[in-house]
Amino acid sequence: MVEGSPLRADAQRNRARILDAAEAVFAEFGTRASTEEVARRAGVAIGTVFRHFPTKDDLLAAIMKRLLAQLVEEAGKRDLFGFFTHLVALAAAKKTVADLLAGSGVDIRLPDALGHLKEAVGRLLKQAQAAGAVAHTVRLPEVMALLASMCQGALHGGWDKQLQARTLAVIFAGLKRD
């Protein structure tokens, strides 16, 4: 498939089903998951998977790109503190493909998608600072580092809702100090 070329409606539906199935399969089996299992769960032939995603890395990259786009969309619906809370809850609730990739050795570069997420969090930070909810000394790199480390902690630590709330309260109090 040529990047950027429009897909027919049925091809778009197949692509979405493949990505949904792949997300579930990779979350369940890790990067050792087979593309055959992805095709089976998506209800398509293996050739259809390969037409959309020639390699497993292409499939993983598409999942990551979609996940990052969903996070950017979610950032547009929340304030900084709500976005933090949402991400930590997501990380604690399920193992994501992002986590699987971190230790897999798969090299997937998504600078545009990551840049969009960083921009969205940057907007949330500026809004919070303008409202006086976050100190003006707090910068975007620190916020991104806090988000990443909180999500990793919640994911690997299996944080329950009480631990999530207490940890977020500490982070939020720190963000408010000048």
Q: Which residues contact 32 (CB under 8 A, 6 or more apart)?
A: none
Average pLDDT over residues 147-154: 85
Question: What is the percent of the chain where pLDDT is above 70?
Answer: 84
Please tell me the predicted confidence (pLDDT) of residue 101.
Answer: 46
Question: Are 84 and 10 spatial neighbours (Cβ–Cβ below 8 Å)?
Answer: no
pTM score of the predicted model: 0.71
**What does the DSSP 8-state code read for residue 134?**
S
Rounded CA gap, 148 and 18, in Å? Answer: 27
